Amino acid sequence: MAKELGMIHTANFEIPTGPLGALPGTIGTCDVSGVLTTQLQRMVRQGNFFKVVGIDISCDTTGTTGGGQVTGELRYLAPTRGRCAAYRAAFKAMADVMKLQGITMRENALYDFRVPLTVEGAANGSIIDGSQIPFSNQATLDGLQGLVMTDPTGITSVGTQILKVHNRSVQPEYTGTAGDQFGPGFDTILQNATSGTDFVLNDRVMYTGNEHHASEEFESIPFMLSWTPDNTDIAVQFDWQPDPALFLAVMTGQFDVRVEEAEFDSGNTQGLNLRIAIHVAGWKSIMGNPDTKRRRSRRSQKKS
C-alpha cells in the first residue's frame, strides 16, 4: 500500500543583515516552533525535533537602491541522546523551581519552556510585525539571565548553558589527548627498539566514547546569495530540497543565521534582507526517555 501524503507547514522569516562592522556573526534566529504556534493558533511546543523537508533563502533590498552578496550558514543541533537528555534535565529544573513558588506548568496553557540556541540568536531574533525583536518568552531560572543551549562566545556564565551544565555531570570515557587512546600492546615482531605501533595513523579523538555526552558543535548548512536590482536584475537564491522520502531532524526547530561575509553595492546604505522559508512535515517529542520500553497489550488469541 502506498504511503499517504502528509501536510507540509511553512514557517517564514525575515532577517536584516545589519551593519557590516558586526560581521562575521549571528544576525538572527529562525524559531520554527514559535512561528507555527502563531500560524496554527495552537501550542507547538519547543521540546520536539522538527522534520524539515526544505529550505528556501533569498535576499532583497527595501527602500534603497543597489544590491549585494551574502555568504553564510544556517546552524542547528541534531537531536542526539546527550542533547535531548540535557534539554529534559533543564526542563525538570525549571518545573521544580516553579513548583517551589506555587506555579504549575500544566495549568498555564500559554506557557512553554523555550530556550534559544545562542546568546547572539536570542538578542537579534527576526522581524515580527515590522520590527526585529529578541527571542520570545525565553526561559530563565533567576529572572535575570536567560537560558541558552550553548554559548560559543563565552559571554554568559556556564550555569545558564544547558549543554555545558549537562556535560558537567557526564564523565567521558576518554579525556586524554590524541595519540594516547590506542595502546601498542604486547611486544611482537612488529616492535622496534624504541616504540611499537598502535596500528593507527593520523590519530585524532573523534568522540568521547560516551553516548550521553552532549556535543556543543553545531551542524550547518552553507548558503550563498546575491541580489542586483539594477539593469541586469540578477538574483541568486538558495533552495535546499532533500529526497522526498527523507527529512532533516532539527532539535527544538531552531536555526541560527550566521553571516560570514557580505558585500553591498554602491548606493545600498541599508544592507540586505534575508527572506527564509522553512518547510516542516511534522514534529516529534524529545521529552520521553529513549530507554523506556513500551508496554504491549496481550491480546487473547482465538482458538480455531
According to DSSP, residue 4 is labeled P
- Please check whether residue 185 lies inside any domain of the structure: no
Strand order in the sheet with 219-228: 25-31, 254-264, 68-76, 219-228, 234-236
- Please check whether residue 142 lies inside any domain of the structure: yes
- The label of the residue with cell 541568486 reads 236
For residue 25, what is its C-alpha cell?
556573526
**Is the pLDDT confidence value at 33 over 90?**
yes
- Please check whether residue 202 lies inside any domain of the structure: no
- Please check whether residue 296 lies inside any domain of the structure: no
- Mean of the per-residue pLDDT values for the chain? 85
Give the tens place of pLDDT for each residue, 95-126. Answer: 999 999 999 888 888 999 999 999 998 888 88
- Please check whether residue 4 lies inside any domain of the structure: no
Least confident range of 32-41, 137-146, 158-167, 184-193: 184-193
- The label of the residue with cell 551544565 reads 165
Q: How far is CA 213 from the centre of its chain?
A: 17
For residue 175, what is its C-alpha cell?
579525556
Q: Give 135's pLDDT tier (boundaries 50, 70, 90).
A: very high
Least confident range of 115-129, 132-146, 262-276: 262-276
Coil, strand or helix at 102:
coil
Distance of alpha carbon 29 from alpha carbon 35, whole angstroms: 12
Task: Using alpha carbons, list the distances in angstroms from residue 119 to 200, 217, 283, 284.
Answer: 40, 15, 25, 26
Domains: count for the chain: 1
The backbone torsions φ and ψ at residue 111, rounded to the nearest 5 degrees and listed phi first, read -95, 140
- Please check whether residue 201 lies inside any domain of the structure: no
**0.95 exceeded by pTM:** no
Q: Which H or E run includes 235?
A: strand 234-236
- Please check whether residue 52 lies inside any domain of the structure: yes
What are the E-state strand segments in 6-95?
A: 9-16, 25-31, 48-60, 68-76
Structural domain boundaries enclosing 232 = 9-173+210-285
- Please check whether residue 293 lies inside any domain of the structure: no
